[in-house]
Amino acid sequence: MIFQENLTTVGTLLDSLTEGVIVADRSGQLRYFNPVAEEILGVGVQDVSPEEWTTTYGCYYPDRITPFPSEDLPLARALKGEEVCDELLYIKNSMRPEGVFIKLAASPMRDESGNLTGGTVTFRDVTESVNNEHEIRRLSKAVEQTADSVVITDVDGMIEYVNPAFESTTGYASDEVLGKKPGILKSGHHDQSFYQELWSTLRRAEPYRGSVLNKKKNGELYWSQQTITPMKNQIGEVTNFVSVARDITDFIERQKIEARLQVAREIQQRLYHESITVPGLDIAGASYPAEETNGDYYDFLRTPDGKVWIILGDVCSHGLGAALIMTQTRAFIHALAMAGIEPGVVLERLNQELVKDLDPLHYVTLVLIRLDPESRIMEYVNAGHPSGCIMNAAGYVSHELGSVRVPLGFLPDQDYPMSEPIQLGTGDLIALVSDGVLEAENDSEVQFGEECALEIIRECRAENAKDIVDWIYESVQDHSAGSPPEDDITAIVCKIEDY
């Protein structure tokens, strides 16, 4: 009776509070819910025992999954004489399916003699603050784990925060830069006007975006793609600057290399001639590099004595290094050929130069044909290159132009004598290919091979030389299912025609 009278006396006061209030008597019977408590929980006073509180009101730990044991709820503990402060619970039930977080405090109630008469619990809805805190933790975790450097400064540019990626990129620990300005990263590459423009942009409260060359603690330079954003408070005042930067040094270097390779490729492509005009001959060639630059080399020369040199060479690797070797080889051959030096002597001298310049892992395979358009007599030398062939008008191989000497640059003091003269006739076809044609593989690792190459040439031998070369390349591509070539692909075709 006294318990009920006390509740009646203070009821008006409890109803006016902005926090939820629940009162239970000593037996655990719920005696009072103020309107705020019912609004927050979605469920009012229920005639249930303390053991049913968790299931009735939907009480969970803050993980939102694990049910909170009824005997450990703050009000249950208050009924045992315990004071409880700042307990966080998650409430989810049929009336609050979206769920709410509440912060609770509970106290035992005693009479004038100190005897336990019941307990009270007060609580408030803290869902918004918990969610905000969760979002802050989530964003903080993302900033801590991002691969981009993050720097926060005050409005004067003094560093207040750096993330681990900044430390990893620059070599500076956070305690070495806090309270300092980002100018410690200056490389000296940019002039004063660069930084004036940067700060002018930020003072207009506009974000700055650009590439900056910075310096690490150890003195190493690195390129940074940087975005600096002014952060404003609720009244629009800039309070901080946040810089997010990505190390793009490797990207910049790749761009430089690719630009150099592109220039090298353009220069190299200008050195190639798809064909040469010689009465009675239909000659064409083409080369397709595996990379930006080519380690294969093909050439057609008309020497002062009126003869035609047909050359196909291949460095044992590909890429820029191989391209440089082939450029050197081409220049050497051109210089000596135009000076009237015999082909065998040209290769002997070239071999000596390459032996001096190349390491043991690099060498050049090369086949050289000298053809007299008037007499239709040819000679050749093959220094370690895949066999070429002479195919007659009927499609039969009359001569194999096989290797008779070691590759160039492999051993010193080698001689490279020309073959015996070979008489050609109308309809004969000379074909040379690089190993990028013969060794091209399909998905089953089956190589294109010599037989397949010969069959392609045989099938289209009536076409002009350029079309045959194109058909060889397209057939290799079909065999490889369009996969990028693993080696440079080069082919030459020379057809003997009527004058």
What number of residues does the chain have?
499
The β-bridge relationship of strands 149-154 and 116-125 is unpaired
Domain residue ranges of the chain, discontinuous segments joined by +: 2-131, 146-247, 270-496
User: In terms of Cα–Cα distance, which of 32, 28, 30, 27 is closest to 6?
Assistant: 32
The predicted structure's pLDDT at residue 318: 53
CB distance 383 to 347 below 8 Å: yes
What's the CA gap between 313 and 433, in Å, rounded? Answer: 9
- Say how many CA atoms lie within 13 Å of 46 toward its Cβ: 17
CB crowding 122-148: b at 16 or more within 10 Å, else e: bbbbbbeebeeeeeeeeeeeebeeeeb
Residue 131 to residues 20, 135, 363: CA-CA distances in angstroms? 20, 6, 68
CB distance 278 to 371 below 8 Å: no
Place of tokens 């380690």: 295
Place of tokens 């009927």: 394
The predicted structure's pLDDT at residue 433: 94
What's the CA gap between 342 and 373, in Å, rounded? Answer: 17
The predicted structure's pLDDT at residue 12: 54
What's the CA gap between 247 and 214, in Å, rounded? Answer: 10
329, two tokens: 């080889």
What's the CA gap between 346 and 343, in Å, rounded? Answer: 5
The predicted structure's pLDDT at residue 178: 92
The predicted structure's pLDDT at residue 294: 55
438, two tokens: 């013969």
Q: Return the SS3 of 367.
A: strand
Q: Return the SS3 of 419.
A: coil
142, two tokens: 């993302």
Which DSSP helix (H) or strand (E) runs through 427? none
User: In terms of Cα–Cα distance, which of 123, 125, 122, 121 is closest to 100?
Assistant: 125
Q: DSSP letters along 59-120, please?
A: EE-TTSSSBPPGGGSHHHHHTTT--EEEEEEEEEETTEEEEEEEEEEEEEEE-TT--EEEEE
Q: Return the SS3 of 259.
A: helix
C-alpha angle 354-358-361 in degrees, rounded to nearest 5:
125
What pLDDT tens digit does each residue of the chain (499 aa) get?
A: 444 555 455 555 556 678 999 999 999 999 999 999 999 999 999 999 999 999 999 999 988 899 999 999 999 999 999 999 999 999 999 999 999 999 999 999 999 888 999 999 999 999 888 887 776 677 667 678 788 888 999 989 899 999 898 999 999 999 999 999 998 999 999 998 998 999 899 889 899 998 999 999 999 999 999 999 998 888 888 889 998 988 888 887 777 766 655 655 555 555 556 667 889 999 999 888 776 555 788 889 999 999 999 999 888 765 566 667 787 888 888 899 999 899 999 999 999 988 888 777 778 899 999 999 999 999 999 999 999 999 999 999 999 999 888 999 888 999 999 999 999 999 999 999 998 899 888 888 899 999 999 999 999 999 999 999 999 999 999 998 867 777 888 999 999 988 7
CATH number of 2-131: 3.30.450.20
The CATH classification of domain 270-496, taken from the options 3.30.300.30, 3.60.40.10, 3.20.20.70, 3.40.50.300: 3.60.40.10
The β-bridge relationship of strands 429-433 and 308-315 is unpaired
The model's pTM: 0.52
Place of tokens 């290797």: 403
The predicted structure's pLDDT at residue 2: 45
What's the CA gap between 305 and 372, in Å, rounded? Answer: 9
User: In terms of Cα–Cα distance, which of 327, 407, 293, 316 is closest to 362?
Assistant: 316
CA dihedral 193, 199, 205, 209 (to 10 degrees): 70
Asked whether the domain spanning 270-496 has the same topology as the one spanning 146-247, the reply is no
CATH number of 146-247: 3.30.450.20
CB distance 308 to 373 below 8 Å: yes
